[in-house]
Each structure stands twice: as structure tokens, then as C-alpha cells.
Amino acid sequence: MEHFLGWEVELADSCFDSSAFIMMDYRLRYQDSTSFTYVLPFSDRHALIEYTFFTSYLLKEDVYEDLLRQYLHKYLGSIPYQIRRTEQGVIPMTDYAFGNDHKRNLKKIETAGGWVRPSSGYSFSASGRYVDQIIKNIVRNRDIAPGVAQNRWRWYDRIFLHILQHNNVLGQGSLKRCTKTTTSNC
């Protein structure tokens, strides 16, 4: 599963580049887990910073908080900050075929519809494509359920999930290689 704790922080001084985000910063690692920090700046002083794990177990909330504090101290220095809001979540990482659970008059979307990539927990690019397809299908008076990822991508997802389950420490290297050659399917 993907699990995370995020803090929306406001800094006393400028520090962030609001034109770019950090998708997976691996510099601060927790034991032998596949884990990383995600930084989404809203301005030069305001950002969402999340510490994320890809593991089969959850941790106590203070572990996530300690890692966020460490990250802020180590990489932003002594800039004072205030926590404006927190967010915490758990996203399933499974190759279960959620998309097969559609009913004739009920079409599921997002996680329940199989739109979330099992290997990353991301759904943003897929959601945009699927919403466009739903709209086209409605206009054409067709079944509104969009397709899900191609079999090749599902196969890659299964391989990555197997790595995470049986040798979690290798997940980080796999993600690094994937994000170096990223496409909308990665």
C-alpha cells in the first residue's frame, strides 16, 4: 500500500521554486523501505510536503512527523515554518481488477473503477483520459465505462508489486529508473 503524511507549510522566507515540484526525493530514507518525500510548491514560501511509503505495513504517526521534521531541517535549513494543514492517506497498491466490478447501471470511477496505477498510486493522467472517454461515450450514446490500462502496463505493475512485497528495499531503485524515463504511463 502507499501511505503518507503531508504538511502544508508556510515558510518565513522564500525557498521553493513554484514552477517545479519534487515527485520523489529519496535523500531521506526510512530503514530499508521504499520511501520518499514529495514536495508540491504553491508559491516560493508555501508548499505541501509529504513523506510517502510503499510498504505492506503502516507506521505510527510520529514516525511520519519525525521524517517530515528531519526533511524540513536538513533541506530547508533553519527557515521558520508554520503547518497550515495536514493530510494523511492510504492508497491500495494491488493488481485486483477493480474495473471488472461495473454493473449495468453503475460505473465506478477512480480507485473503485481501476483508474489508480497499482505500482504508483497515481491516477491523475489516467483520470483525465478516462473522463474524456466517458464524455465521448455519453455524446455517442455508448456504454460510459472507459477501459483501463493496457495489459502490458498491468504486467509491469504486477512485477513491481512483486518486488515491493518480496524485497521492498529494491523498490526505490526501480522507481528511480522508471521516473528517469517517465511517460504518462509510468
- Closest C-alpha among 50, 52, 53 to residue 21: 50
Mean pLDDT value of segment 37-53? 96
Question: DSSP secondary structure string, 131-183?
Answer: HHHHHHHHHTT---PPP---HHHHHHHHHHHHHHHH-GGGHHHHHHHHHHT--
41/178: higher pLDDT: 41
Pairing of strands 46-54, 81-91: unpaired
Q: What are phi and psi of 78, to 5 degrees?
A: -100, 20
9-13, 78-82, 103-107, 163-167 — which is least confidently predicted? 103-107
Q: For residue 168, what is its C-alpha cell?
A: 521492498
pLDDT at 148 over 80: no
Amino acid at 107: K
| pLDDT above 80 (res 173) | no
More confident residue, 5 or 119: 5
Which residues, other chains included, contact 53 with Cβ-Cβ below 8 Å and sequence gap of 6+? 2, 3, 4, 30, 33, 34, 35, 59
**Strand 2-11 to strand 81-91: parallel, antiparallel, or no bridges (unpaired)?**
antiparallel
Task: Name all domains of the chain by residue range, CATH numbers in brackets.
Answer: 2-91 (3.30.70), 98-180 (no CATH)
